[in-house]
Amino acid sequence: MSQRNSLRTMPDENGHYGIFGGRFVAETLMPLILDLERAYEEVKKDEGFWKELDGWFKDYVGRPSPLYFAERLTEHFGGAKIYFKREELNHTGSHKINNTVAQVLLAKRMGKTRIIAETGAGQHGVATATVASRLDLPCIVYMGAKDIERQQPNVFRMRLLGAEVRPVTSGSHTLKDAMNEALRDWVTNVHDTFYVIGSVAGPHPYPAMVRDFQSVIGREAKLQILEKEGRLPDVLVAAVGGGSNAMGLFHPFLDDEVRLIAVEAAGDGIETGRHAAAMAAGTPGVLHGSRSYLLQDEDGQVIEPHSISAGLDYPGVGPEHSWLKDQGRLEIAPITDAETLEAFQLCGRLEGILPALECAHALAHVAKIAPGMDRDQIILLNLSGRGDKDIFAVAEHLGVKL
């Protein structure tokens, strides 16, 4: 067998993934980020921490999440066998809670007494508010005013969980602005506050830490598919906004002979300029603490992204995704709002599952590639969240009044 270097050893000691990653933050935050890095390096080696986390995963989150054979979709497309990693069955309805349980436990260990988070679709906000409530810590969630409008059920859920949801009205009123505002809060409340970042973005060590916490998805999926099929899948597909569910699934497979497809939100179509496809159409830039692919204009101003899915409506992407794209390890597939709506409805009709609009993007890409594949090939899709939160947005797009 030919030897090749592992792709699973990133980042370097300064948090760089090739030219990507790094720590592009204000000096006020640097000592905190270094503290966090030290604390994370400690728990990484601490078996007690991972044992505690496993307990939470099993009894509170409901892990392992099932690997489900989507038989009717497989028949419908008439090609590759399609499996869903059912992250939407986790407590709170998405993969986000894997990371928030771990980060809030870490916050407790570090003696922090106040939790902040940003949220787009509200899934990360709900997952953070949930764990903060359980561990008895006050929680403030920053959310773009436009996202509050289109994700009302999640806003109310966060409030029921005792979190304070602060509307963000700067910039484009979406996820990137919520992240700016959370960073401003953190700079102001450095002494007691832990910032729970929801994606594999932000300054080092966040992208690596969130990846490690989310990698439970890929580790489980690998065991489960080997058990069911006796071999690894041919293709992994996941939607990418910041990229946490994709990285969680992909990372344990990076050194295996498996195609990895990152599906980006093409909004109204890449050619219209109204999209959120940072890797397909962006250029390297620096935002929110790291270098990654970024939607920006000629002058380096960040372009307001667009997607039907609030969770993908982000102008950047994680640094490790950016690096893997440049390595040629990651395939990038843009999917439009219209294609997403179709996949969303199809999944409900055939499998009895309403997927979140985020992973409905991934399913729409599966619809494109599955028919052309052999029947003994396997596609494994990360069904990262449930679609209940999206029914109002979908109804509006379909012209239905609820």
Partner 1 sequence: MSERIRERFAALAAEGRAGLVTYLCAGDPDPETSLGLIKGLPGAGVDLIEIGMPFSDPMADGPAIQAGNLRAISAGMTLNGVLELVRRFRSEDQTTPVVLMGYYNPVHRMGKERFIAAAVEAGVDGLIMVDLPPEEDEEFCLPAKEAGLDFIRLATPTTDDRRLPVVLQNASGFIYYVSITGITGSAAPVADLVGQAVRRIKSATTLPVAVGFGIRTPEQAAAIARNADAAVVGSALVDLVAANLDQDGKAKPGLVEAVHGLVRELAAGVRGARA
Indicate which residues carry an active-site annotation.
Answer: 96, 118, 384
**Contact status: 22 vs partner 1 (CB under 8 A):** yes
Q: By C-beta, is 90 or 193 nearer to partner 1?
A: 193
Q: By C-beta, is 25 or 217 nearer to partner 1?
A: 25
**Listed residue (211, 260, 218, 230) closest to 65, CA to CA:** 218
Applying CB under 8 A, among 286, 338, 350, 391 the residue interacting with partner 1 is 286
Distance CA 123, CA 386 (A): 10
Distance CA 185, CA 49 (A): 28
Among the candidate windows 98-106, 115-123, 268-276, 290-298, which touches partner 1 by CB under 8 A?
290-298
Beta pairing class for 164-168 and 193-196: unpaired
State in angstroms the smallest separation of the CB of 299 from partner 1.
5
**Listed residue (243, 255, 262) closest to 312, CA to CA:** 243
Please count the other Cβ atoms lying within 10 Å of the Cβ belonging to residue 392: 16
**Contact status: 184 vs partner 1 (CB under 8 A):** yes
State in angstroms the smallest separation of the CB of 394 from partner 1.
30
Distance CA 36, CA 42 (A): 10
**Contact status: 373 vs partner 1 (CB under 8 A):** no
Distance CA 228, CA 209 (A): 30
Applying CB under 8 A, among 11, 17, 25, 335 the residue interacting with partner 1 is 25
Site string for partner 1, 139-178 (x = CB under 8 A): -------------------------------xx----xx-
Applying CB under 8 A, among 1, 45, 298, 402 the residue interacting with partner 1 is 298
DSSP code per residue over 317-339: --HHHHHHHHTT-EEEEEEEHHH
Q: By C-beta, is 257 or 299 nearer to partner 1?
A: 299
Distance CA 147, CA 115 (A): 21
Note the residues at the interface with partner 1 (CB under 8 A). Answer: 14, 22-32, 170-171, 176-177, 180, 183-184, 187-191, 283-289, 291, 294, 296, 298-302
